[in-house]
Amino acid sequence: MNFSFNLPTEIPSVLAVVWFLLVAVLWIGYLVLEGFDYGVAMLIPFLGKNEKEKRVLINSIGPVWDGNEVWLLTAGGAMFLAFPAWYATLFSGLYLPLFLVLVGLIIRGVSFEYRSKRPDTKWRAVFDWCAAIGSFLVPLVFGVGFANFIIGLPVVTDPNNASLYVIASDAANVGVTPYFWELFSPFGLLGGIVVVVLCLYHGLLYLTLKTRGEIQERAKGLAKILGAVAIVGGAAFLVWQNLAYSPLFLSGLSWILLVLAAVALIVSWLTIGRGLAFIMTSLTWLLVALGIFLKMLPGLGFRDVGGADVPGINVFTAASTDGTLTIALVAALIMVPIVLAYTIWAYWVFRRPISVKNIPDDALAAA
Amino acid sequence: MTAETLARWQFGITTVYHFFFVPITIALSLLVAVLQTLWVRTGNERYLRLTKLFGKLFLINFAMGVVTGIVQEFQFGMNWSEYSRFVGDIFGAPLALEALISFFLESVFLGMWIFGWDKLPKKVHLATIWLGSIGTLISSIFILIANSWMQNPVGAVYNPTTGRAEMSDFGAVLTNPVALVTWPHVIFGAFMTAGGILLGVAGWSLAKANKQLNGAEPDGQIAKDIDAHRFALKLGAWTLIVATCGSFFTGDIQGKIMVELQPIKMAATEAVSTTVQNAPFAVLAWPDGSGGVSTAIEVPGVLGLLAGTENGEVKGFNELMAAYQNGELVDPNNQLAQGAKDAGLLQQYSSQLAAAGYVPDILTTFYSFRIMIGLGFLALIVAIIALVKTGKGKLPKGGKGWTLAMVIAPLFPLFAGSFGWLVTEIGRQPWIVNGVLPTASAVSPGVTALEVGLSLVLYTVIYGVGAVVEVGLFLKTIKSGLPVVEEPQVSTDEDAPLSFAY
């Protein structure tokens, strides 16, 4: 192991590491919360056997999905704020994948509201599929993306601007060929599939808690199958990750996180239908994400094309100034607990599971 | 076309489109909160019915506003990576705070408002729409602080080691004079639009009710409908009138600040080629065939008065361009620009700036500004006419003219906002950060024209389909009229149908 970081001449700020952790926390919040509403929305055309059942699925996430999505927006905003160079290089470098994410978020985001506004079956089917496809596309791309952060996205400096890093396999490719097809390596694809399956499983466990009646039973049955797939696929991915792409330091911790994630997933499978199962899949997201973010230290998921251990763009060089990081940290320390408090309250208000009996006969929304 | 040109179009199209939903979200949520408050306080059913009708319109609009807003947040990094890297230390803060403070607030509490009618006690439920609405207001503060920093980059210095702008005074960023006057201007514009929606919907519905009555005295349900719509029309019209006065007033202050900080934006917007005293306000402008512009129908002294300068002097773009070519700063007092100049950065950009011509597109800014004012003024006239035509218990007769007026009431203020943004953003060119970073230098170097072009086409298609769906649902909701309501009750029965369900 080589610990010779290419650090700037100044002593690196501990604030940068704190903010890196905070970005990780926001991503974990996003995966745990929106993970299940992606899962539920993907299942609308498949698990809902009739109109009322479909509406049970939609209404089970209806009051909360939009708040869940804000975790992603805040994670993106926090990357921009705390690591402008990371945000700049990553978002421009993964242009087409992020475009797919945006398309997914757009078509799913409007579908719940618009679906309810007309009674005809065709209209509603269109938005069921918009919700399902959008909710599939987003975790798929993020899964492929995170797998590639583990592999390391190759970076070079822009030939015209030494301060700006660009994702490219070669400086001659900058602005010529996008780094796109390279993302779909076997490991990258496995990452995409695992994240989608984990969302489905997480969503099914949510449904076992938030619905009643036949649909709840069906969710339990399907969770058994998808849970098994998630365990096998997840374990394969994590073992592969640790064998092939060991983190620069604390590789022992990375193995521990893997084992804990596997245990959490197995416990969830053994307790399907109980609250514990959902807590365990939430814990799985947390452990897997921690492992990935550990691997992204200090290179932020980038890889120096020249072969250096630490790329020139890293958690220290990409960070904002201490002044900005301090101000924002104070704001975050005040706001995050407040946000968590009212989010928990919102979940408590809508704690009651719903069944087809709760769905009004009127096909149009009651309000 | 180059990736840069396509990225500019993409920003223009997605931003103008997003801003169709923003003013309605901000101001209509607040008017709905006011209506619901009136219901909670008086118990009068008409306010509840109005809350439900305009709440529904608000939510149809909100859905599209949210999803098109996500594109905005991602777009800076995707298309403008050098911009993002260069300004992130300052610009990232308001964006992240916007998400953390306002997006959570509006999303979580609007979710509770939509689904909470039978879950929350009346007053708690009322609080949720207020909190959601306040969230949208806070959001507008942060994003306008961010945009105002692009117009007037205060509270920052250039760091030659890191090659970027860095925050030196967060307080100065928050209290940027451009932000302090832009925020109320945008908010007044938003209330013009939302007031126009109330006025347009209610005015159209009153004419429809009048036709149904066919001379008979209103009674029963139709009398109730007329009573509710009459109130909505008054609330909407007065909101529009007050907000129009507010936007004229704040817009005037904006102009006075612009003369000082972005003189060439003022020169372009007013087609002033050579510095003049007691500057006249021109109504028409056209290319003179030799690269400049000619103007006509000039009102003497008015521009000078609006600019508020000594002797009513307004600088011409010819003089300003010459000065900038000689290396003069756009704002000589700006610390960041001075630092960038001292470090030789502006020298580095000079060829790009020379190619861009230092001056924004004159005819676009000139006419956008005049269209903005014209649209706002026509909406104001419609509001006054509507009040007159429905005063003293009268009902509007309807007809094509009336329907047209009711369409103008919300749409003209909405489009006035679009044209206002064209002046603001095109008028800032060739700079992305005024006087510091040219737009051409800010684009992502690694992104190909194919990627930007492909996404541009697909956004346009998706947004186009979205617009058709959105307008269709809006009209359908308006035509179905005021809903019949039941007093919402907190439900304890596990199997009872939800009072609201998708």
Which two structure tokens, joined as six digits, stand for B10?
């993409």
Of the pLDDT bands very low, low, confident and very high (cuts 50, 70, 90), residue A145 is: very high
Contacts of A332 in chain B (CB under 8 A): 100
Q: Which chain A residues in 104-133 lie under 8 Å from chain B, judged by CB atoms?
A: 105-107, 109-110, 112-118
Q: Do the Cβ atoms of A321 and B166 come within 8 Å?
A: yes
Q: Which residue of A has its CA nearest to B171?
A: A327
What is the ipTM metric for this complex? 0.94
CA distances from A198 to A24, A31, A188, A204, A213 (A): 18, 10, 15, 10, 24
Q: Which chain A residues in 279-338 lie under 8 Å from chain B, judged by CB atoms?
A: 320-321, 323-324, 327-328, 331-332, 335-336
H or E stretch at B424 = helix B400-426
**Residue A235 C-alpha, separation from nearest chain B C-alpha, in angstroms:** 32
* Paired strand residues for B159: B164
Rounded average pLDDT over A89-112 = 97
Is residue A6 predicted with pLDDT exceeding 50? no
Name the one residue in this structure whose structure tokens are 């000065």: B323
- Whether chain B has a CB inside 8 Å of the CB on A352: the answer is yes
Residue A7 is predicted with a pLDDT of 41
DSSP B127-152: HHHHHHHHHHHHHHHHHHHHHHHHHS
d(CA B329, CA B76): 26
**Residue A72 C-alpha, separation from nearest chain B C-alpha, in angstroms:** 9
Q: Which residue of A has its CA nearest to B453?
A: A96
Q: Do the Cβ atoms of B167 and A355 come within 8 Å?
A: no
How many CA atoms, within 13 angstroms, populate the side-chain half-sphere of residue A207?
A: 36
Name the one residue in this structure whose structure tokens are 């924002």: A328
Q: Do the Cβ atoms of A87 and B162 come within 8 Å?
A: no
Instruction: Indicate the residue of B447, B466, B501 with minimum beta-carbon distance to A366.
Output: B501
Rounded average pLDDT over A139-166 = 96
Q: Which residue of A has its CA nearest to B169?
A: A323
Q: What is the DSSP letter of B446?
A: T
CB B264 within 8 Å of CB B317: yes
User: Which residues, 6 or more positions from B16, have their beta carbon under 8 angstroms from its beta carbon?
Assistant: B418, B421, B422
- pLDDT tens digits, chain B, 502 residues: what are they? 899 999 999 999 999 999 999 999 999 999 999 999 999 999 999 999 999 999 999 999 999 999 999 999 999 999 999 999 999 999 999 999 999 999 999 999 999 999 999 999 999 999 999 999 999 999 999 999 999 999 999 999 999 999 999 999 999 999 999 999 999 999 999 999 999 999 999 999 999 999 999 888 888 899 999 999 999 999 999 999 999 999 999 999 999 999 999 999 999 999 999 999 999 999 999 988 877 888 999 999 999 989 999 999 999 999 999 999 988 999 999 999 999 999 999 999 988 888 888 999 999 999 999 999 999 999 999 999 999 999 988 999 999 999 999 999 999 999 999 999 999 999 999 999 999 999 999 999 999 999 999 999 999 999 999 999 999 999 999 999 999 998 888 888 888 888 888 8
Residue A315's region, left for phi above 0, alpha for psi from -120 to 50, else beta, is alpha
Domain spans of chain A, in order of start: 14-358
Q: Do the Cβ atoms of A92 and B79 come within 8 Å?
A: yes
* Paired strand residues for B294: B286
Is residue A2 predicted with pLDDT exceeding 60? no
Q: Do the Cβ atoms of A89 and B95 come within 8 Å?
A: no
Residue B156's region, left for phi above 0, alpha for psi from -120 to 50, else beta, is beta
Is residue A9 predicted with pLDDT exceeding 80? no
Which two structure tokens, joined as six digits, stand for A292?
């990935």
Whole-prediction pTM: 0.95
Q: Do the Cβ atoms of A175 and B448 come within 8 Å?
A: yes
Helix axes A275-295, A214-244, angle to 10 degrees: 20
- Whether chain B has a CB inside 8 Å of the CB on A361: the answer is yes
Residue A1 is predicted with a pLDDT of 37
Residue B153 is predicted with a pLDDT of 98
CB A105 within 8 Å of CB A71: no
A253-296 tens-digit pLDDT: 999 999 999 999 999 999 999 999 999 999 999 999 999 999 99
Pairing of β A302-304 and β A153-158: parallel
Q: Do the Cβ atoms of B445 and A175 come within 8 Å?
A: yes
